[in-house]
Amino acid sequence: MRKKLYSVLTILTTAVFLGSAAHAATLKIGVAGPLTGDQAAFGEMLKNGATLAVEEWNARGGVKVGKKKMKVDILWGDDRHDPREGVSIAHKFVNSGAAGIVGHFNSSVSIPASTVYAEAGVVQITPASTNPKLTEQGFSTVFRVCGRDDQQGEVAANYIVDKLKLKRIAILHDKTTYGQGLADETKRFLEKRGVKPVFYSGVVQGDKDYTPVLTAAKQKKPELVYFGGIHPEAILLVKQMRERLGMKALFMSGDGIVTEEYYKIAGKSAEGTLITFTPDQTKLAAAQNVIKKHRKRFGKEVGAYTIYSYVAMNMILNSIQATGSTKGAKLAAHLRSKAWNTSLGKLQFNKKGDVLESPYVLWQVKGSKFAEIK
Amino acid sequence: MFAQQLVNGLVVGAVYALIALGYTLVYGILQLINFAHGEIYMIGAYVGIAVLAVLGTMGLTQTSLALSIVLVFLIPMIYCAAYGITLERVAYRPLRGAPRLSPLISAIGMSLFLQNYVQVVQGARDKAFPNLLELGSFQLFGAYVNGLQIFILILALGLMAALQLFIKKTKLGKAMRATAQDRTMASLVGVNVNRVIAVTFAIGSVLAAVAGVMVGMYYGIVNHHIGFVAGMKAFTAAVLGGIGNVTGAFLGGFLLALLESFWAGYVSAVYKDVFAFMVLVVVLIFRPQGILGGSGEADRT
């Protein structure tokens, strides 16, 4: 009996050692975002983009670090767009020795999490967090491959003033770092152009009924309602504007609502919605390869942030291979050192970690899909 | 604006009131806060989507709208009644004699379990609730009123009237009132207490199912999380009106929704929930038993 017990123990301990040995040979990259919850649509884009990049590297035998090739292992973190979850995931990633981070999705999560990564000297590239503050904190290891909300707000404000020539604007936001940040930037640029919003208010994220605040906005007879926030609230707002209150004002929002859920659930109420977003990636020559691979691997089209996540992951792995190091400072220096040829075209980082050029353009929901306005 | 906010508030109030009734009925009889009640409402909405999907593929939504509407409410009602009864059997009955804290923890556990169960089975993404009733809108005293809003109000008020009649006039209703007054005494005079409690859970769940389907139709969007917020608000409404009191739940639901609506419209949408809970605190300071008083007073469940 005792002999048996010993042999079982021996097998178990060997297995554990073998397991950890196998583990030690992999290169760990943390990927975090809202993988579940009401923003899971974005989490899925993040997940698929990162997975695609890692599978390509592993198919080629892994990343060469110094002399040996290492397979890449993704550590998943589901922050459910909750800043507290984000910080605890950041600590978990750092403690498990992640060599780099792709994430987080929401600005409200990326900003507190970035403190943890920066302190530990781990490089972080977010594919989607657009709040300016993220790269204004003075951390050298924080990067983003997307644009900034001050750029986005300016494009929105200029379009309203120059193209639409509208004067009565109502502004709503969801009180999050991203939503309120974007709404405030748009408001700031509108005021710069001499248009003072007639209505400005926050709404409660996760609420279902926005008719009271919309009724109050309706009193000011807005010609356009601008919303800073994410698609679950945008769907309810635009539906209730059209179906409950009969408001005909235009609806405009930012890159946080670019998911198929938006036009699928809001249906015909969503028609005509204006959106500021980066130019159509599916038309980019550089992106065609990823789009094809994504279709083959996941059986559907890429989402708004799939390619961004793919690019972010590739940049980290490329830098590790080029420098032969997993040290944040070295990787960060390499990331800044050159112009990158990516699936999103040419990208170069400035000192802060923002991309040098980020041209936001106007999109519109037309015939139940997003279309770039030419 | 006043008329519009009134309409906005009344519709939300109907939903709060229907869910609040479930809390209050169970509390009246068991002195238990059934925290899993909000999840029953959420499950009702999901079953509604499933029924609509089936009816849609059968083509029934095209051929017979009236029958479809009846089914889209009836099937979730039956399903949720079964859920409610099972919930009571599994989570609360074994703890009937235990200290009050144990069933409360069991309730919170069931709430978390059901929420996560639905998330795992149905996915975390928002689900669209197909629009079954395409009703027109019209203007009334400057307010924009939708046919669906009237439908919801009439249905909710009808159900509440039916519940009042059931409790006041039927034999089972009388048994419920007797059990609420004194469970031991009721069982001594021949009331099947277990059956009465099961019926109470079933009725509460049926009302929650109706609320779930209504909300699905009204907002067109459902996720596994809606039960939490709605349950919280409905519970507040029940306490506001006087928990254990059927008329109180009714009143509390409408009052809370109207206050929220006017506050958000006239003062601040940002502090809507702050205001709602502040009202609760103030009312409880001056009337700890709620506006109409709890189950200890005249209008018992």
From the CA of A235, how many Å to the nearest CA of chain B? 9
CA max distance for chain A: 87
Q: How many CB pairs lie under 8 A apart between chains A and B?
A: 99
Angle at B258 between CA B268 and CA A200, to 5 degrees: 20
H helices within chain B, ranges in order? Answer: 2-30, 37-58, 60-63, 65-87, 101-122, 147-169, 171-181, 183-188, 193-219, 226-241, 246-262, 272-286
- Contact assignment for A213 to B269 by CB distance below 8 Å: yes
Q: Are strands A27-33 and A100-103 parallel, antiparallel or unpaired?
A: parallel
Q: Between 3.10.330.20, 1.10.150.20, 3.40.50.2300, 3.40.50.10140, what CATH number should domain A2-147+283-347 receive?
A: 3.40.50.2300
* pLDDT tens, position by position, B67-118: 888 998 999 999 999 999 999 999 989 998 888 889 989 999 999 999 889 8
Chain A hits for B263, Cβ within 8 Å? 212
Residues B227-243 as b/e (b if ≥16 CB within 10 A, e otherwise) read bbebbebbbbbbbbbbb
Q: In the prediction, which pLDDT does A97 show?
A: 92
Q: What band does B300 get if pLDDT is binned at 50, 70 and 90? A: very low
The total number of residues shown for chain A amounts to 374
User: What percent of chain A shows pLDDT beyond 70?
Assistant: 93
DSSP labels, A4-43: HHHHHHHHHHHHHHHHHHHHHTSEEEEEEE--SSTTHHHH
Q: Are strands A340-342 and B143-146 parallel, antiparallel or unpaired?
A: unpaired
Question: How many CA atoms are closer than 13 Å to the CA of A29, on its beta-carbon side?
Answer: 37
Who among B1, B128, B268 is closest to A215 (CB)? Answer: B1
- Contact assignment for B270 to A175 by CB distance below 8 Å: yes
Domains A2-147+283-347 and A150-277 in one fold:
yes
Average pLDDT over all residues of chain A: 89
Chain A CB within 8 Å of residue B269 CB: yes
Sign of the torsion formed by the C-alpha atoms of B244, B249, B255 and B257? positive
Q: Say yes or no to pLDDT of A101 above 50.
A: yes
Give B154-222 as a 3 state SS string: HHHHHHHHHHHHHHHHCHHHHHHHHHHHCHHHHHHCCCCHHHHHHHHHHHHHHHHHHHHHHHHHHHCEE
From the CA of A51, how many Å to the nearest CA of chain B? 20
Poorest-confidence range of A164-178, A223-237, B43-57, B61-75? Answer: B61-75
Between CA A280 and CA B256 the distance in angstroms is: 46
Residue ranges covered by each domain of chain A: 2-147+283-347, 150-277
- Contact assignment for B264 to A216 by CB distance below 8 Å: yes
From the CA of A265, how many Å to the nearest CA of chain B? 5
Q: In the prediction, which pLDDT does A8 show?
A: 59
Chain A hits for B2, Cβ within 8 Å? none
- Contact assignment for A211 to B262 by CB distance below 8 Å: no
Which is nearest to A214 in space by CA: B264, B131, B277? B264
Specify the DSSP element, H or E, that contains A169: strand A169-173
From the CA of B257, how many Å to the nearest CA of chain A? 10
Nearest CA in chain B to A220: B1
- Contact assignment for B128 to A264 by CB distance below 8 Å: yes
Dihedral angle of Cα B147, B151, B153, B156, to the nearest 10 degrees: -160
Chain A CB within 8 Å of residue B144 CB: yes
- Specify the residue for token string 């990259």: A29
Q: Say yes or no to pLDDT of B298 above 50.
A: no
Average pLDDT over all residues of chain B: 88
Sign of the torsion formed by the C-alpha atoms of B26, B30, B33 and B34? negative
Q: What band does A22 get if pLDDT is binned at 50, 70 and 90? A: very low
Q: In the prediction, which pLDDT does A11 show?
A: 58
Measured from the Cβ of residue A161, the count of other Cβ atoms closer than 10 Å reads 18
Cα of B144 vs its chain's centroid, Å? 26
- Contact assignment for B269 to A212 by CB distance below 8 Å: yes
Q: Say yes or no to pLDDT of A39 above 90.
A: no
- Contact assignment for A208 to B126 by CB distance below 8 Å: no
Between CA A183 and CA A189 the distance in angstroms is: 10
Structural domains for chain B: 2-124+167-286 (1.10.3470)
- Contact assignment for A265 to B126 by CB distance below 8 Å: yes
Specify the DSSP element, H or E, that contains A63: strand A63-65
- Contact assignment for B125 to A213 by CB distance below 8 Å: no
Chain B hits for A202, Cβ within 8 Å? 269-270
Q: Are strands A250-253 and A345-347 parallel, antiparallel or unpaired?
A: unpaired
* pLDDT tens, position by position, A4-15: 666 655 655 555
**A194: exposed, middle or buried (C-beta count within 10 Å: 0-12, 13-18, 19+)?**
exposed
Nearest CA in chain B to A240: B219
Chain A CB within 8 Å of residue B56 CB: no
* A119-128 average pLDDT score: 94
From the CA of B120, how many Å to the nearest CA of chain A? 10
Between CA A149 and CA A136 the distance in angstroms is: 13
From the CA of A43, how many Å to the nearest CA of chain B? 10
Q: Which of A209, A239, A241, A243 to mutate: most B Cβ within 10 Å?
A: A209
From the CA of A39, how many Å to the nearest CA of chain B? 7
Q: Say yes or no to pLDDT of A25 above 90.
A: no
* B237-262 average pLDDT score: 90
From the CA of A219, how many Å to the nearest CA of chain B? 7
Q: In the prediction, which pLDDT does A24 show?
A: 52
Chain B hits for A267, Cβ within 8 Å? 131, 220
Poorest-confidence range of A193-197, A330-334, B56-60? Answer: B56-60
Between CA A373 and CA B246 the distance in angstroms is: 56
Which is nearest to A254 in space by CA: A159, A331, A118? A159
- Contact assignment for B128 to A265 by CB distance below 8 Å: yes
* pLDDT tens, position by position, B130-175: 887 777 778 878 788 888 899 999 999 999 999 999 999 999 999 9
Between CA B30 and CA B179 the distance in angstroms is: 9
Q: Give the domain A150-277 fold.
A: Rossmann fold (3.40.50)
Chain A hits for B264, Cβ within 8 Å? 212-213, 216
Chain B hits for A201, Cβ within 8 Å? 268-270
* pLDDT tens, position by position, A333-351: 999 998 999 998 889 999 9
Between CA B47 and CA B53 the distance in angstroms is: 10
Phi, psi at A207, each rounded to 5°:
-70, 160
Q: What band does B20 get if pLDDT is binned at 50, 70 and 90? A: very high
Which region, left, alpha or beta, applies to residue A299 given φ > 0 means left and ψ of -120 to 50 means alpha?
left
Q: Are strands A142-144 and A123-126 parallel, antiparallel or unpaired?
A: parallel
What is the SS3 assignment for B136? coil
Please report the ipTM that was assigned to this predicted complex. 0.84
Tokens standing for residue A140: 């050298």
* B11-26 average pLDDT score: 92
* B114-128 average pLDDT score: 85
Between CA A84 and CA A63 the distance in angstroms is: 32
Whether residue A30 contacts residue A98, with contact meaning beta carbons closer than 8 Å, is answered with: yes
Nearest CA in chain A to B134: A243
What is the SS3 assignment for A271? coil
From the CA of A173, how many Å to the nearest CA of chain B? 10
CA distances for A335 relative to A148, A313, B234, angstroms = 19, 12, 53
Nearest CA in chain A to B260: A212
Whether residue B153 contacts residue B15, with contact meaning beta carbons closer than 8 Å, is answered with: no
Q: Which of A213, A238, A264, A268 to mutate: most B Cβ within 10 Å?
A: A213
What is the SS3 assignment for A100? strand
Q: Are strands A169-173 and A199-202 parallel, antiparallel or unpaired?
A: parallel
- Contact assignment for A245 to B4 by CB distance below 8 Å: yes
Q: What band does B299 get if pLDDT is binned at 50, 70 and 90? A: very low
Between CA B171 and CA A223 the distance in angstroms is: 59
Who among A36, A212, A246 is closest to B8 (CB)? Answer: A212
